[in-house]
């Protein structure tokens, strides 16, 4: 990490056994703008004694004190980063050259400030297609996910999933069986996911990259499910929707945020009894079925 990234991580990252509340994305961007107006880089926050103080940026004494308290965590940063490295996890700040550019371009200030990564980061630069689905799926839905994943892998695409355990694990298994690669944005515990035998082997073989905007020990939550699907949709040029509930669930709400032009890059499985899927198709998503021939590279 550069010194600027270390400052950013100290301010916005999550530290174990630490009760300080990190800056939100909005708070970080406000601070960054204030620094830019003064001609200062983030690392300057560590050098207040060089003729200026955080209060000079327009913060109250209390606000400046909160920022200083977060900056104190930089003293323990090496130990924290070493611990994450031992787990096979690397935090990528929005200032990192490895941070996914498409997230910054499409999400702007809604992009996560820190992403935790485990696995082969080279996969971030490969052609990729998302496959996401509701968690409420049956065997037929999983079989369809496997069919789509196999087709896309044969065309040279990396599969990007939202980590929903049934469909994501099915896509991972199929992709690996056919020599493909997978990127998975998680909404559940990264550390837990990394203990699964197939996941461990795929990470070891360089065939998998796991990403999470939450601290690696963080458990599943509906909010995390919502944002992870948002990240898949922003990261991928095209996304396959296996199943979505109508007007509820993380998949639906993430899709509801898209503008009409983005719908042209959504391929939705056509099942008349799936109200959510049929609504998406009526809104411009491209219908597909088991006879779908995939995408041209």
pLDDT, tens digit (0-9, with 9 covering 90-100), for 59-77: 999 999 999 999 999 888 8
pLDDT, tens digit (0-9, with 9 covering 90-100), for 92-126: 999 999 999 999 999 999 999 999 999 999 999 99
- Cα 253 → chain centroid: 16
CA–CA separation, 285 vs 264, rounded Å? 6
Burial class of 293 by CB neighbour count within 10 A (0 to 12, 13 to 18, 19+): exposed
Query: Closest Cα to residue 144, out of 129, 135, 133, 154?
Result: 133
Q: What's residue 259's pLDDT?
A: 77
pLDDT, tens digit (0-9, with 9 covering 90-100), for 8-40: 999 999 887 788 999 999 999 999 999 999 999
pLDDT, mean over the chain:
91
Residues in the chain: 297
For 119-288, CATH number out of 3.40.50.450, 3.50.50.60, 3.40.50.1820, 3.90.1150.10 equals: 3.40.50.450
Is residue 261 predicted with pLDDT exceeding 90?
Answer: no
Reading phi first (left if > 0) and then psi (alpha if -120 to 50, else beta), residue 119 is in left
The answer to whether the CB of 96 falls within 8 A of the CB of 81 is no
Strand ranges (E), the chain: 90-93, 114-119, 128-132, 158-161, 182-185, 208-212, 238-241, 266-269, 286-288
CA–CA separation, 177 vs 205, rounded Å? 13
Rounded to 5 degrees, what are φ and ψ at 49?
A: -65, -10
CA–CA separation, 245 vs 277, rounded Å? 8
Q: What is the reported pTM?
A: 0.91
- Helix, strand or coil, per DSSP, at residue 85: helix
Reading phi first (left if > 0) and then psi (alpha if -120 to 50, else beta), residue 294 is in left
Mean pLDDT computed over 190-207? 92
Query: Closest Cα to residue 136, out of 223, 40, 228, 249?
Result: 249
The residue ranges of every structural domain in the chain are: 3-86, 119-288
């Amino acid at each position: 990490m550069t010194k600027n990234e270390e400052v950013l991580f100290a301010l916005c990252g999550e530290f174990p056994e630490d009760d300080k509340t990190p800056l939100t994305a909005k708070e970080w961007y406000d601070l960054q703008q204030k620094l830019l107006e003064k001609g200062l880089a983030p690392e300057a926050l560590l050098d207040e004694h060089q003729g200026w103080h955080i209060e000079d940026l327009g913060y109250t004494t209390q606000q400046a004190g909160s920022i200083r308290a977060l900056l104190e965590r930089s003293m323990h940063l090496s130990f924290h980063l070493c611990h994450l490295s031992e787990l096979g996890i690397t935090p990528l700040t929005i200032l990192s050259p490895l941070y996914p550019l498409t997230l910054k371009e499409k999400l702007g200030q809604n992009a996560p400030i820190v992403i935790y990564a485990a696995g082969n980061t080279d996969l971030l630069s490969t052609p990729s297609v998302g496959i996401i689905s509701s968690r409420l799926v049956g065997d037929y839905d999983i079989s369809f996910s496997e069919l789509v994943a196999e087709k896309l892998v044969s065309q040279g695409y990396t599969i990007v999933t939202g980590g929903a355990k049934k469909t994501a694990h099915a896509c991972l298994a199929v992709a690996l069986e056919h020599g493909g690669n997978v990127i998975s944005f998680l909404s559940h515990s990264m550390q837990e996911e990394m203990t699964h035998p197939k996941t461990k082997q795929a990470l070891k073989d360089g065939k998998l990259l796991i990403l999470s905007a939450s601290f690696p020990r963080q458990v599943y939550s509906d909010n995390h499910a919502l944002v992870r699907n948002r990240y898949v949709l922003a990261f991928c040029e095209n996304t396959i929707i296996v199943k979505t509930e109508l007007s509820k669930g993380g998949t639906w709400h993430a899709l509801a945020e898209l503008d009409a032009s983005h719908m042209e890059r959504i391929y939705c499985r056509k099942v008349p009894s799936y109200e959510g899927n049929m609504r998406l198709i009526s809104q411009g998503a491209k219908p597909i079925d088991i006879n779908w021939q995939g995408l041209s590279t």
